[in-house]
Amino acid sequence: MLTLIGGAAVLALILFFAVRNYAVQVAQQGQDTILDASVTSMLDAATIQDGTVELDLPYAAFSMLATSADDRVFYAILRDGKFLSGYEELATAGNFLPDSPVFQTSQIRGAPVRTISASRTLIGANERVDVQIFLAQTQDALSETLDQISRNAALLGVGFFTLAAVLSFWATSATIGQLGKLTTSVTRRGPQDLRPFTKPVPREMVPLVSSLNSLVGRLDQSLTQSEDFIAEAAHRVRTPLATVRSYAEATLQRVDKEENREAMRSMIKAIDESSRAAGQLLDHAMITFRADHLERDAIDLTELVSDLAQRLAPIAEMKDLSIALRGDPHVPYSGDPVLLQNAVRNLIDNAMKYGPAESSIEITVSGKPKPQIMVCDHGPGFPENEIETLTTRFQRGANATDSIGSGLGLTIAQDVAMAHGGGIHLENRLEGGACVTLSL
């Protein structure tokens, strides 16, 4: 913008000087023309009689030199360089007299004057005589005119500069402002928000926004495609895995040799791990989709958690674990029950996975200050140095190498909590065991 204003200032200055310079030329030309006419009429009145030069000065010669500023007039009439009449100092001021009129600017009696000098040859009976005339006029009217024109030119220049400055200020602020707005709306976007930008922008920025939108669109499409692909893959893997597992279990019943049975159990465990991972991948894809189009129903969190606890109780018993439910009897909340169940189930799954036999899993549901579901176990707890990174997808704890899991459990819980405007918090209890708090 400074460049624009500087350019405007330079242009305004150029305009001022150009107009002023032109005015000087025109005004000077005007004065010179009148001086020329006056001196010509004076020379015309010169005659020679009996060797004497007579010059019957026409009244109009000086009359035409009258100006609004009452400019002073000086003149000198010479015969062959010898002073005849007028102002003698003017005759000595110029020392040469060419044929054609010559203009020059000089000083007479302390006043700046424009002087014209012209001459004419008179032919007498037996002689040739040169009559020379100097005519000078002060330049008060000229400078008055010039002052006026300069003032107007200056006003014009200032006006031009102001207009240009205001326009450039307006243009830049309009463009920068829109860019700033666009930047803000891009920055404020959540990580999942890949909708096109629809806010109106100036015409000049439309190509930028539409290419940005097209980029975002392609990104969204490829993300969706890969999510779809993962879900499809997980789905296709899970069904054959279930078939393989049932065959493996049937085979286990029939095998007697202890080492073969051990191999079969390992096989079943691996299959379980694969099918759980496939299930979680499916869950995650489902959660990503539902979180994008979150539907909120009125639900009771305590009821939802206790239903889940009842359903998981048989599995827990198989591992010699008990599930204890505590907290408020009713915690009303508006959210997606499928997502919330999924999240809590993943947390309980984790607790069952890491909790040692003969221990309990404690679930606390509370409504104040905000709805919270806390799941605690008596396992080894989270490794202190990884507590920040555990919620990232496919990240498993360093001490989980012997457990089944895909590393998606905490990620799913966090995605659900964030979709509902909350988050999860991991901590280790002082008396041992890990606690995960799901805040909504």
Q: Does 77 bind another protein (CB under 8 A)?
A: yes
Q: Select from 2, 3, 29, 56 the one that contacts another protein (CB under 8 A).
A: 56
Residues in 265-304 that interact with another protein by CB under 8 A: none
51-57 contacts at long range (C-beta below 8 A, 24 or more positions apart): 51/124, 51/125, 51/127, 53/79, 53/84, 53/122, 53/129, 53/131, 55/84, 55/85, 55/131
Q: Does 63 bind another protein (CB under 8 A)?
A: yes
Count of residues near another protein by CB under 8 A: 26
Q: Does 356 bind another protein (CB under 8 A)?
A: no
Q: Does 261 bind another protein (CB under 8 A)?
A: no
d(CA 287, CA 335): 13
CB of 53 vs another protein, minimal distance in Å: 8
Q: Residues near 402 by Cβ (< 8 Å), separated by ≥ 6? A: none
Backbone region of residue 358 per phi and psi (left: phi > 0; alpha: psi in -120 to 50; beta: other values) = left
Q: Does 54 bind another protein (CB under 8 A)?
A: yes
Q: Select from 3, 29, 68, 100 the one that contacts another protein (CB under 8 A).
A: 68
Only one of the segments 63-71, 156-164, 166-174, 214-222 lies at the binding site for another protein (rule: CB under 8 A); that segment is 63-71
Strand order, beta sheet including 102-108: 82-86, 73-79, 128-138, 111-123, 102-108
CA dihedral over 272, 274, 275, 276, signed as positive or negative: positive
User: Does a cis peptide bond (omega within 30 degrees of 0) precede residue 383?
Assistant: no
AA letter at 140 = D
Task: Determine how many CB atoms are found less than 10 A away from the CB of residue 258.
Answer: 8
Nearest-5° Cα angle at 176, 174 to 180? 115
Q: Does 124 bind another protein (CB under 8 A)?
A: no
Residues in contact with another protein, shown as a per-residue x/- string from 154 to 183 under the rule CB under 8 A: ------------------------------
d(CA 335, CA 163): 58
Q: Select from 84, 304, 390, 419 the one that contacts another protein (CB under 8 A).
A: 84
Q: Does 66 bind another protein (CB under 8 A)?
A: yes
Q: Select from 11, 73, 154, 426 the one that contacts another protein (CB under 8 A).
A: 73
Q: Does 50 bind another protein (CB under 8 A)?
A: no
Residues in contact with another protein, shown as a per-residue x/- string from 88 to 117 under the rule CB under 8 A: ---------------------xxx------
Chain positions contacting another protein, by CB under 8 A: 53-63, 65-66, 68, 70-74, 77, 84-86, 109-111
